[in-house]
Structure 1
Amino acid sequence: MRTAHPLLTRLFDAALKAADPFDLIAPHLPPPPKGRTVVLGAGKAAARMAEAVERHWQGELSGLVVTRYGHGAATRHIEVVEAGHPLPDEAGETAARRMLALASDLGPDDLVICLMSGGGSALLSLPAPGIGFDEKRAINKALLRSGAPIGEMNCVRRHLSSIKGGRLALACHPARVVTLVVSDVPGDDPAVVASGPTVPDGSTGEDALAILDKYGINASGAVRAVLADPALAAPRPIDPRLAQNSVHVIVTAQQSLEAAAQVARAAGYTPVILSSSLEGEAREVALVHAAIARQVLQYGQPAARPCVILSGGETSVTVRGQGRGGRNAEFLLALAVALDGLPGVHAIAADTDGIDGTEDNAGAWLAPDTLPTAHTLGLDARTRLADNDGYGFFSTLGQLIVTGPTRTNVNDFRAIVIDS
């Protein structure tokens, strides 16, 4: 059985361990309030974060968090419900309504601890008044296929929502809200993570409409009316009702990359972290990584062999084919084509949440013999890439990475190992 370069697995394991929020929450928990403590949250890390709060909290608490199907946890005081991702479903809508109901009963002596992580945008889906659930779901699906970066997708989601863009924090007023964030977005802006249910931002409905127009996504009259209605606008950052609230980003992609870099050094490889916030089409980002690998081999720049090139962030895929994709599988397939069996170069690309897009794998791995092996099996890499079928390509080769749900999410992790 063919296996990945052993260092690739160790690098990814280190990245996942560094992204686990369980041991990172305690230092950010506020003192218990005079009144009640309610925990609300959404995202792929929400259940793991709820476990951590229960472990470290001194005093009574209750609450509700929503996570993706299969990403739950056994908690005692905080209810965990599961819902659809990346496409919203009724379970997520119901959870959002229940959270708003819990928030509406709070007073000035109460505390809300909000646990937000990537995936919360789909999991906490409650359309703005006048927009049907099916219509918002269709817009979400179109955005996912458009190649739009996560910041633009979440701008639209915020302005078509009754709970995102700071609206949940408004519902909690006059209670104090402390938000703890596991960031899956380039730049780690908490207003973008899960579309910021407790964090207002400076964007407008006009901005959201411009994004829909940019990608040719149909906006009905009802959608345009919502985006133009000042009464439905999200709160602004200067809203006095949010003044006592605070936000803490506790886990980032940079932490995972630095942990992987430590593993590389210990193994005798020079680590080079390109960026924790790369965006763009997965296949185009792959071309850049391939060019850097060739530069290392030919000129010893930006590091001499042996070295490891590391990067994070969130790429996108403009879907044109019919294959089973995943942006990490697409990146790696494009990298394989660009490297064309370059000796001594091994790579991994995987999503830290354990799910690459909508598939059952976290990502895949690549070796110098990947393309020759594919050729013997009748697989044409370029044809599969044109069909957005990275999953099918690496599945046939036995080169998928399957972790199951990790219950965290700092987005893509990429490593290219270049041996001496």
Structure 2
Amino acid sequence: MQSFDPRSFLRATFDAAVRAADPIHGIRQHLPEKPKGRTIVVGAGKASAQMAAAFEALWDGPMEGVVVTRYGFSAPCKQIEIIEASHPVPDQAGLAASGRLLQAVEGLTADDLVVALISGGGSSLLPSPAPGLTLADEIAVNEALLASGAPISAMNTIRKHISTIKGGRLAAAAHPARVVSFVVSDIPGDNPALVASGPTVPDAGNRQEALALTAAYRVSLPEAVMAHLNSPAADALEPSDSRFSGNQVHVVASAAVSLEAAAEEARKQGIEAVILSDSIEGESRDVASMHAALAREIATRDRPFAKPILLLSGGETTVTIRAKGKGGRNSEFLLAFALGINGVSGIHAVAADTDGIDGSEENAGAFADGQTVERMRKAGVDAKSMLMQNNAWTAFDAIGDLLVTGPTGTNVNDFRAILIQECSSDRG
């Protein structure tokens, strides 16, 4: 293969994954019938503005509505208002946006249609505290959950029990109008009820489960929140509630589809690809250790797959915050992975969030190979120390190996691609 550049190859697979997650394709396939009455569009998430633009392009009737997205993630729309708010920690703009969405679905009839555009990030963008709670309480809950290392499914089960908009409550407020939800899934397993804590899609999780998860992950919540979770007022809506009976839910983009697209791109370039899983969860550094062990086995022993090979995986890992460093779960994964393959040549990897933002900074993720740790050492950075400080962004920034894409307009969670070619080992 002439002039083969591993990093360009990995970037091409990431770009293919992002293109496959463009929500317009799935929305086009599931456009609902036009209603006799009004068409109201509501939405929330890091991909919601792009979803709104896609729906406007496809719908040839009148519509009105409002969606909320992260600051900097807006897209031009003519009929749908786009509001920006804070992610991953809620703010006053998000609180106001929640009120606007609830107002938009007030007083509808059975002749009206509500189109809900939901994607990952909506939980933080739709703060709407239950009676007796405040925005400060929701902020404290989000901060505690983000620091706990709990998986996204557990976080959203807790979040929906302290909200007046999550857990299907937005759809219930729209009754008797028909609600059609388009979901870009960032949840391992693609349960739409857990994406953005399911504002239009309830699930069977109850407050006893929320309390159990709070204890299991040692999440320290404000006293008022714990009192609420221990009261019947926190009970969630049941999926069997008659207000949801005529509604439809369509998952229009997911990690599974994106990984298949990345694998196809690799094969076009002459590299066989294997998808390990689209729903991997767990502590980022632990997941990285497993991936590194597998990559080393292939690199040095040609098992369980022969070189050259591209390993692909998705899902959503978590980071237990131990220090106040800079970074996100993908850069933390990659720093731990770099330590795990240190000195082994022929291994190149990228780990990135498909929405274009990994954690607290403006990078999607980063690149790494068997010489990453040594390059960091020469730049005056100790990779192990940076990992312990949750400071992966600083480590990769020091050697110019961050992947910066800007907002992508979609969000199907983590993307990991590991290329293993012929190599030699310098490990002791």
Unaligned runs of 5+ in 2: 423-428
Separation in structure 2 between the aligned mates of residue 141 and residue 273 of structure 1, nearest angstrom: 33
Task: Quote the Cα distance in structure 2 between the aligned partners of 1:318 and 1:246.
Answer: 36
Q: Distance in 2 between matches of 1:398 and 1:54?
A: 39
> Residue deviations 1:74-104, cap 9 Å, x none?
1000101000000000111111111111111
* AA matched with 1:363: G
Give the match's secondary structure for 2:62. coil
In the alignment, which of 195, 217, 220 is matched to residue 218 of structure 1? 220
Quote the offset at 1:231 in angstroms. 4.3
SS in 1 for 2:285: helix
| CA distance in 2: counterparts of 1:220 and 1:5, whole angstroms | 46
2:160 to 155, 158, 161: 158
**Match for residue 261 of structure 2 among 259, 262, 276:** 259
Distance 1:8 1:219 in 2: 41
Deviation of 1:218 after TM superposition, in Å, equals 3.1
Q: Is the contact made by 1:44 and 1:71 (CA closer than 8 Å) also made in structure 2?
A: yes
How has the CA–CA distance of structure 1 residues 270 and 4 changed in structure 2, closer, same or farther, with 3 Å as cutoff?
A: closer
Please give the secondary structure, in 2, of the residue aligned with 1:271.
strand
TM-score, normalising length: structure 1? 0.97
Contact 1:252–1:410 under 8 Å retained in 2: yes
Q: Is the partner of 1:66 in helix, strand or coil?
A: strand
**What pairs with 1:61-80 in structure 2 (closer than 5 Å)?**
61-80=63-82
Q: CA deviation at 1:233?
A: 2.0
Out of 285, 288, 303, the residue aligned to residue 290 of structure 2 is: 288
* TM superposition shift of 1:6: 1.8
Equivalent position amino acid for 1:238 in 2: S
Q: Does 2:111 correspond to 1:94? A: no
Q: Which residue of 1 aligns with 2:201?
A: 199
Q: Distance in 2 between matches of 1:230 and 1:245?
A: 26
Alignment of 1:358-373 (within 5 A): 358-373=360-375
The offset of 1:341, in angstroms, is 2.4
In the TM superposition, residue 349 of structure 1 has moved relative to its aligned partner by 0.3
Q: Which residue of the partner structure matches residue 318 of structure 1?
A: 320
Q: Using the alignment, how far apart are the partners of 1:220 and 1:339 within structure 2?
A: 42
Q: CA shift at 1:334, angstroms?
A: 0.3
Q: Is the 1:4–1:365 contact (alpha carbons within 8 Å) kept by the matching residues of 2?
A: no
Shift of 1:10: 0.7
Q: CA deviation at 1:396?
A: 0.5
Aligned to 1:385: 387
Task: Give 1:273 deviation, angstroms.
Answer: 0.4
Task: Tell me if structure 1 keeps the 8 A contact 2:207–2:234.
Answer: no
Give the unaligned 5+ runs of structure 1.
none
CA RMSD for the aligned pairs? 1.2
Write out aligned runs for 1:3-402 (5 A): 5-402=7-404
Query: Cα offset for 1:369?
Result: 2.2
SS of residue paired to 1:315: strand
SS at 1:116 equivalent: strand
For 1:382 and 1:231, locate their aligned partners in 2 and report how far apart those are by CA, in whole Å: 46
Q: Percent identity?
A: 54
CA shift, 1:41, in A, is: 0.3
* Contact 2:342–2:371 (Cα < 8 Å) also in 1: no
How far apart, in 2, do the equivalents of 1:417 and 1:219 lie? 42
- Relative to structure 1, the CA distance from residue 4 to residue 94 in structure 2 (aligned partners, 3 Å threshold; closer, same or farther) is farther
Task: State the aligned residue count.
Answer: 418
Q: Give, in whole Å, the separation in 1 of the partners of 2:183 and 2:229.
A: 27
Q: Deviation digits for residues 222-268 of structure 1, max 9, x if unmatched?
A: 32332233344221011111100010101000111001101111111
Query: Structure 2 CA distance, aligned partners of 1:180 and 1:16?
Result: 17
2:386 is paired with a residue whose SS is helix
Amino acid at match of 2:388: A
Deviations 1:58-79 (A, max 9, x none): 2110000000000001100010
Which deviates the most, 216-225 or 292-301?
216-225
The residue matched to 1:115 in structure 2 has which SS?
Answer: strand
> Contact (CA 8 Å) 2:180, 2:247: kept in 1 or not?
yes
Is the 2:50–2:410 contact (alpha carbons within 8 Å) kept by the matching residues of 1? yes
1:296/1:168 Cα in 2 relative to 1: closer, same or farther (>3 Å)? same
2:406 is the counterpart of 1:404: yes
SS in 2 for 1:268: coil
Bigger shift: residues 95-104 or 220-229:
220-229
CA distance in 2, matches of 1:186, 1:23: 21
How far apart, CA to CA, are the structure 1 residues paired with 2:214 and 2:41? 34
1:280 alignment partner, SS class: strand
Q: Answer yes or no: is the 8 Å Cα contact 2:144–2:220 preserved in 1.
A: no
C-alpha displacement of 1:215: 2.8
Superposed displacement of residue 105, structure 1: 1.8
CA distance in 1, matches of 2:230, 2:241: 20
Deviates more, 1:293-302 or 1:55-64: 293-302
C-alpha distance in structure 2 between counterparts of 1:150 and 1:66, whole Å: 20
* TM superposition shift of 1:21: 1.1
1:220: Cα distance to partner? 4.0
How far 1:27 sits from its partner (Å)? 1.2
